[in-house]
Structure 1
Amino acid sequence: MMMDAVNTEQAKSRLYVKETQCPYCSVQCKMSVEELAAPVAGQKVAEYTVQGVPNKASQGRLCVKGMNAHQQVFSSERLMYPLIRRQGELEPCSWDEAIQTIADRLQQLQTTYGSDAVGVYGGGSLTNETAYLLGKFTRVALGSKYIDYNGRFCMSAAASAGSKVFGMDRGLTFPLSDIPKATCIILAGTNVAECQPTLLPYFNEAKENGTFIIVIDPRKTATAAIADLHLQVKPGKDALLADAMLKVIMAAGLADSSFIQKRTTGYEQLVQEMESLNLEQAAKACGVELDLIRQAALAYGEAHTGMIMTARGVEQQTDGHMAVRHFLNLVLATGKIGRTGCGYGAITGQGNGQGGREHGQKADQLPGYRSIENEEDRAYVASVWGIDPALLPGKGVSAYEMMERIHEQEIRALLVMGSNPVVSNPNVRLVEEGLRKLDFLVVADMFLSETARLADLVLPVTAYMENEGTLTNLEGRVLLREQGRPAPGETLDDWDILCRIAEKLGKGSLFQYGKAEDIFNELRIASRGGVADYYGITYERLRNEQGVYWPCRSVDEQGEGMLFHERFAHVDGKATFTPGASQGWDDVSEAFPLILTNGRILAHYLTGVQTRRSPALAARELENYVELHPSTAARHRIRDGEWVEVQSAYGSFTVRSRIKASIREDTLFVPMHWGGIQNVNRATRPDLDPFCRMPGFKTAAVKIQPLRLV
């Protein structure tokens, strides 16, 4: 039963969605969706108008994705009831059968292979309530250590770097409204003009105020177009570039000695180790003229106020954790944090990429950013959940490592919620082979995604307009998204599905919630006293105040928009420098002479499951492509618009060519939003960052060739 089968019934009354929030990026823009007219004969869906609603983050702005987000909700491809696989085919079944089947199969497998035979794979677009409950469900209802989520591929490098350097992780250490107050801004590995378009006006306002903007990116993106200086760095050399800039700042006497002495540790060792860095050699390795590096370093070092923001370009590397830390050395060395117009920001990607990594759906984490390996943290959370701490499993493994455990058949069953791992993981051939080996695969989704097509059971879930819950945007502001329309067909909220399964597993007494707010109130208590403390945040406050920053330790606090004004989150109150110069990745060879990198484009989001089902968005980019420089195209005899094959040591994919002079000659860029033969992750490498377990999405050695008969 797909969406068009229920539209007629729902259209009997005029529908207004007064206010909701965009389901896409981390800005979390507010919007209203209004039905203009009910469907007429022969017309499957009504017509709608969408308008931005002012809130403190987006100021009422919407991008093209937000303007068309409602199209996924009313798509004819929406799943309306559970599907179960019989004789190799998916066919409809009741919720009773679906939930009972899940409980029976999981219990059978755990009886045979142990509790850890079942894994759970979550997502950074789930609400805080669902993300929290997913962690509790895995550890309490299933008793398994195996849970991680797709945010491992998004924010893990910046999150782990912030925790090491500052003592805590929050996307932005400053409110968005501070951006126009900076006199110099470095945007490293981020294309906000396409990935978070409603942020661009903040930077345009900064430009009007005279802010000097530096963009670090291998491509001349729409964001680079607004820059005063563009450093077109070679992929994999971001950390080395940051080191070179720091050495220029040190040599120019621009380090803030007072800030360093009072508020940091480790600077002396860093100075000693930086002595061996040769600027000319570093510039050559980065592929950036030394004069441009000097200009960038002096502009930032001399500025009275300044910000550095990174995103996936810097972070999705096998040294992404260290790359971020080396940019943070620049922040600390110049004392540009904890005051107006200053700070560091990791520009979160997914809609709840911030909240989704705070409350327990990571392999090593408990709610409130607590550690599952800390005995006090375990005891506290266990007391909130009403269980013996000894029953809490230990630390699991990262998202891709879960796929390896599946391939090795250590994990025999998997529940996927809010994610599409067949498209989003590196080395997707191994991933797909592993998922096909599973004894039991359950996927909860709005659509038959590439992963759902492999499932034994597919569970239909509500869309963003149809459920209630909180999300935390990139600046750490917790926002309430209220339900705007009834759930269609037999769709259920994700958290409701978890509670029903827990009931059948005999754990129902620990999952007694009547609504999302009940879960949030438990989350508040579970996070109390943790780094990500939500205790002072309530639904009532969120309705009245348009969001509240965390940490917020009591209902009398306003929350902290600006972090680290007086002290950092380490016990001694100081931030930590990161010693050691980095050389970065460089594995190109005669066989694979080019560097493959990937990323987002304006019209699509994540693996494209939602945006490819929006007619307006799909029409903008119907198929995937590879962007390459004219010289590279000429060298490989490739014509614009023809089919080409890109191959690495791990696999290959086929897309059309798009020849552009805006990319480095040694680099290929491919969007990440398509599956199948056009999936760029068929060629990405599965090597992992040793600190945060981030795969090396942004750097793979490849070759390219045209696909034609003559």
Structure 2
Amino acid sequence: MIHLTIDGIPVEVEKGTTILQAAKQIGVKIPTLCYLENVLPDGSCRLCVVEVTNNGRTKFDTACTLRCSEGDEVQTMSEKVVKYRKETLDLLLSDHRVHCFSCEANGDCKLQDYCFEYGVEKTSFPGEMNNAPIDDTNKFFTYDPSLCILCHRCVNTCKEIVGRGAIDTMNRGFQSVIGAHYKNTWNEGICESCGNCVQACPTGALTMKRRKKYRPYQVEKKVLTTCPHCATGCQYYVLVKDGKVVDTEGYNGPSNKGLLCVKGRSGSFDFAQSPERIKYPLIKNHETGEFERATWDEALDLVASKFMEIKKQYGPDSLAGFACSRSPNEDIYMVQKMVRTCFGTNNTDNCARVCHSASVAGLYMTLGSGAMTNPIEDITKNADVIMLVGSNPEEAHPVVGMQIRQAVKRGCKLIVVDPRDIGLAKKADIHLKLKPGTNVAFANGIMHVIIEEGLQDDKFIAERTEGYEKIKEIVKEYTPEKVAEICHIDPDDLRKAAIMYAKADRAPIIYCLGVTEHSTGTEGVMSMSNMAMLVGKLGRPGCGVNPLRGQNNVQGACDMGASPTDFPGYQKVAATGVVEKFEKAWGVPLNHNVGTHATDVFPKAITKEIRGLYIYGEDPVVTDPDTSHIIKALKSLDFFVLQELFMTETAQYADVILPGVSYLEKEGTFTNTERRVQRVRKAITVPGEMRLDTDIIIDLMNRMGYPQPHLTSAEIMDEIASVTPSFGGISHARLDSEEVGGKGLQWPCPTKEHPGTPIMHVGKFSRGLGWFYPAEYVPSAELPDEEYPIILMTGRILYHYTTRAMTGKTPELMEIEGHSFIEMNIVDAEKLGIRNGDKVRVSSRRGSIESTARVGTKTSPGESWMPFHFPDGNANWLTNAALDKYARIPEYKVCAIKIEKA
């Protein structure tokens, strides 16, 4: 430890601590403009200069770069230091256009604040200003070189923190500007429009264009909440002026560390204030086919009476109800409770059925808990090797992608296992560009090499697992050469990847829908678990099996019991005593039979086994495979009710639409991909007759004969905690407390004193012994043939989120990327006479759509890829509804198509 004084205050710090860090430790503020925490200091602004005396010698140096020495006497506000800072500010103003009154950053400019503090009103060095033109080519923000002080905070943020490296300092001397391309324009480079550089800017040089509509001092309130897009669980403030959200501001949350992606920063509030919101209850007139405005009493009475009529005539299992994986935990809990207590059935589910139900089922069977094992920060900051399988986080989970780029920059090795040349493949040490649908063969090949090389963890296997001898026998057959033939990869790359993963001290497996969305998705997940158990990389920091959940609350929807097999907290319907427990808690007899999965509800609707369906906030016409099949099912229902914000594709087929409210208009919680329960807080009230979703559900429950008291969101969470052991210590009050400090709580959190569980399976698996599942490779359900010779994969892009119900209401996102496209290999394109940008017809055995060809090498010959966001060419008209035998998850990632020039 090193001892020094700062402004006469004694302080003890570790060796290597800078003066700035030491000062912060004792609450002494030193001004900075260029400094960024956790980044190698730049020292370019010179504003943090301090006076340091040691052994009779005095020097002036920047506090952000100077490390503490034993016996230092530091003065942060001596007469000479203050004079130095004034001169520095004077020099900065010499090349800074001063127009504070009309500047968008007025009231939120550190340069302005420091000039006011040090009494610098104008420069004493008048001269020629930087007259480079303003760059407003980015859709969301503007760069004004005349306000830039070249502090490099934006450059360092993009390069060191975001890991994109999209901007740099161009030219030299007084002609220096920040640019995003060799032409210096933002729209021509690789900028992702995340806006983290803008938030880092200490002046008005970089400003969000929406700042033109408000000034910081006009903001009425800043409300801390959780992003409604992917399951990273980013925290940010929404800024409210005149009752409307006008902006967002990244917060230093546990999973995002102050970072946001373009969707979180710029696509998370326009939709809530959209004029397209459904504002009144609607009942379809079946004579005209049109929806007509109704009162709440009319709509709720009709819904309750129709569902109870169907139940009386056809039995409780003729009804089903789906919860929304984008809604808060409290809403989801009430939906599944309504289905079980009022409908009298376990036919409840959520959209995890079509994305991550394989994770829930697979990890539950092998480890005892169907959830991510380690926190995001742990698997990106503490890892030596990251194995990324079937996941494109730069686009689907961008802030996780940023943290993986940071890890690579730090020296972490990266293995990418993906059929496409995703962005991170360029940074990977090894890219296994495997054939879609061959994950099980790949994993067995990895295990074959590990065992062949003697790199398995025999002690871990003996003490903590079962089934090893069986899996050892199976993987004997999966030699690198055999796996290379199945997966279309280099056998030597497979060997290198296996050895790299096995030898690393800390190596997490991170995977996503490229593993789960297959007819063998559950076995794919269990194969990820097999690999980790084989080398003992579970229950330890920087390791684990880590599914990145797709939507903001897919984890929470499963946790809350929106499942035909599980009550809240994964308490199994089929397990002894579970139904009886909930009968006692809820005060009514319950159905003891396992319910119908969502993906099986639609076929049952066609056969009239299911006659009434209630959907809260999902859009299966857009999201589910084989769109024609889904539409036929919805049309076959006797009665269909939708609780929604917008007139979606699915809404067209409803008998009644009940308008709810967005995450910005309610209290609640989301559970992110790392099991972290975080608060959602009400920021605005949108005009109209929309109602709080839990109030709608509670009113329906009472009308259907169940005496459900009206509860606030906080009271619902208290009920959840009372019946869900893993949530026993979680409450709104605790999440809002200083003890938790805005960091959320990771379940299991069984008591009010429990701190939560960052890493699962420490010392012991939830099921006791971890199980090696004996997985054999089985080809995908539909493979190419002469008529349909190309494999189609589907996925997400950076600028949109699932059905675009939210991001599609932000015009700038639609301008950046607003239309359907299909990526195809140049070899296939040449054979078919198709050029980049051509209109093409894409057909499968289920349907045909038009799209635009993007020709290149991102996909291999014989393979193609499409997003499913866009109505002008939705891939789900083509995809195959073949289902996984365990999780009943559809095979989105592999179907056979043909492509023709339109």
TM over 0.5: yes
Write the letter of the residue equivalent to 2:688: G
Q: 2:829 aligned with 1:633, yes or no? A: yes
Q: Relative to 1, partners in 2 of residues 1:583 and 1:311: Cα closer, same or farther, differing over 3 Å?
A: same
Q: 2:262 aligned with 1:57, yes or no? A: no
Is 2:376–2:400's contact at 8 Å kept on the other side of the alignment?
no
Aligned residue among 231, 235, 240 for 1:26: 231
Following superposition of structure 1 onto structure 2, how do residues 276-291 of structure 1 map, counting pairs within 5 Å?
276-291=477-492
Q: 2:728 aligned with 1:535, yes or no? A: yes
Q: CA deviation at 1:419?
A: 0.4
| Structure 1 Cα separation of the partners of residues 686 and 723 of structure 2 | 29
Residue matched to 1:686: 881
Aligned residue among 401, 419, 423 for 1:218: 419
Aligned residue among 367, 385, 404 for 1:166: 367
Is 1:653–1:678's contact at 8 Å kept on the other side of the alignment?
yes
Write the letter of the residue equivalent to 1:431: I
Is 2:509–2:546's contact at 8 Å kept on the other side of the alignment?
yes
Write the letter of the residue equivalent to 2:824: L
Write the letter of the residue equivalent to 1:424: T
| Structure 1 Cα separation of the partners of residues 734 and 809 of structure 2 | 35
- Tell me which moved more, 219-228 or 346-355: 219-228
| Counterpart secondary structure, 1:639 | coil
Q: CA deviation at 1:80?
A: 1.1
Q: CA deviation at 1:37?
A: 6.7
Percent of aligned pairs sharing the same letter: 31
Q: 2:710 aligned with 1:513, yes or no? A: yes
Aligned residue among 336, 350, 356 for 2:557: 356
- The one-character-per-residue Cα deviations of 1:48-80 (angstroms, maximum 9, x if unpaired) are 222112211111211111112111111121111
Write the letter of the residue equivalent to 1:599: G
Write the letter of the residue equivalent to 1:520: M
Q: 2:650 aligned with 1:445, yes or no? A: no
Aligned residue among 569, 577, 580 for 1:376: 577
| Structure 1 Cα separation of the partners of residues 639 and 887 of structure 2 | 29
| Counterpart secondary structure, 2:386 | strand
| Counterpart secondary structure, 1:354 | helix
Write the letter of the residue equivalent to 2:790: L
| Counterpart secondary structure, 2:854 | strand
Residue matched to 1:41: none
Q: CA deviation at 1:208?
A: 3.1
| Structure 1 Cα separation of the partners of residues 665 and 827 of structure 2 | 50
Is 1:240–1:584's contact at 8 Å kept on the other side of the alignment?
no
Q: Relative to 1, partners in 2 of residues 1:221 and 1:175: Cα closer, same or farther, differing over 3 Å?
A: closer
Write the letter of the residue equivalent to 2:332: A
Residue matched to 1:578: 773
- The one-character-per-residue Cα deviations of 1:567-612 (angstroms, maximum 9, x if unpaired) are 0011xx2111122431432622111111010001011111222222
Aligned residues: 677
Q: CA deviation at 1:209?
A: 3.0
Residue matched to 2:128: none
Q: CA deviation at 1:173?
A: 3.3
Q: 2:763 aligned with 1:569, yes or no? A: no
Q: CA deviation at 1:35?
A: 4.0
Is 1:75–1:614's contact at 8 Å kept on the other side of the alignment?
no
Following superposition of structure 1 onto structure 2, how do residues 248-397 of structure 1 map, counting pairs within 5 Å?
248-388=449-589, 391-397=590-596
Q: Relative to 1, partners in 2 of residues 1:16 and 1:114: Cα closer, same or farther, differing over 3 Å?
A: same
Aligned residue among 785, 797, 802 for 1:606: 802
| Counterpart secondary structure, 1:102 | helix
| Counterpart secondary structure, 2:508 | strand
Residue matched to 2:750: 553
RMSD value, Cα: 1.7
Write the letter of the residue equivalent to 2:779: G
TM superposition score normalised by structure 1: 0.93
Q: Relative to 1, partners in 2 of residues 1:385 and 1:92: Cα closer, same or farther, differing over 3 Å?
A: same
Is 2:539–2:760's contact at 8 Å kept on the other side of the alignment?
yes
Q: Relative to 1, partners in 2 of residues 1:502 and 1:487: Cα closer, same or farther, differing over 3 Å?
A: farther
Write the letter of the residue equivalent to 1:451: T
| Structure 2 Cα separation of the partners of residues 20 and 47 of structure 1 | 12
Q: CA deviation at 1:156?
A: 0.8
Write the letter of the residue equivalent to 2:460: F
- Tell me which moved more, 553-562 or 322-331: 322-331
| Counterpart secondary structure, 2:595 | coil
Aligned residue among 325, 328, 331 for 1:124: 325
- The one-character-per-residue Cα deviations of 1:480-516 (angstroms, maximum 9, x if unpaired) are 1111122531111221111111111121x2x213311
Write the letter of the residue equivalent to 1:191: N
Is 1:139–1:393's contact at 8 Å kept on the other side of the alignment?
no
Is 2:327–2:663's contact at 8 Å kept on the other side of the alignment?
no
| Structure 2 Cα separation of the partners of residues 273 and 107 of structure 1 | 52
Q: CA deviation at 1:626?
A: 0.6
Q: Relative to 1, partners in 2 of residues 1:580 and 1:424: Cα closer, same or farther, differing over 3 Å?
A: closer
Q: Relative to 1, partners in 2 of residues 1:347 and 1:485: Cα closer, same or farther, differing over 3 Å?
A: same
| Counterpart secondary structure, 2:423 | coil
Write the letter of the residue equivalent to 1:359: M
Is 1:525–1:535's contact at 8 Å kept on the other side of the alignment?
yes
Structure 1: gaps spanning 5 or more residues: 1-12, 39-45
- The one-character-per-residue Cα deviations of 1:325-345 (angstroms, maximum 9, x if unpaired) are 112211011111111211110
Residue matched to 2:894: 699
- Compare relative contact order (CA 8 Å, sep 6+) and give the higher one, 1 or 2: 1
After the TM superposition, which parts of structure 1 deviate over 6 Å for at least 4 consecutive aligned residues? none
TM superposition score normalised by structure 2: 0.73
Is 2:378–2:541's contact at 8 Å kept on the other side of the alignment?
no
Is 2:449–2:479's contact at 8 Å kept on the other side of the alignment?
no
| Structure 2 Cα separation of the partners of residues 145 and 475 of structure 1 | 27
| Structure 2 Cα separation of the partners of residues 175 and 470 of structure 1 | 19
Aligned residue among 223, 233, 239 for 2:440: 239
Is 1:646–1:654's contact at 8 Å kept on the other side of the alignment?
yes
Write the letter of the residue equivalent to 1:33: V
| Structure 2 Cα separation of the partners of residues 159 and 286 of structure 1 | 26
| Structure 1 Cα separation of the partners of residues 688 and 235 of structure 2 | 26
Structure 2: gaps spanning 5 or more residues: 1-217
| Structure 1 Cα separation of the partners of residues 245 and 884 of structure 2 | 47
Following superposition of structure 1 onto structure 2, how do residues 60-99 of structure 1 map, counting pairs within 5 Å?
60-68=258-266, 69-86=268-285, 87-99=288-300
| Structure 1 Cα separation of the partners of residues 632 and 220 of structure 2 | 44
Is 2:237–2:250's contact at 8 Å kept on the other side of the alignment?
yes
Is 1:467–1:487's contact at 8 Å kept on the other side of the alignment?
no
Q: CA deviation at 1:201?
A: 3.1
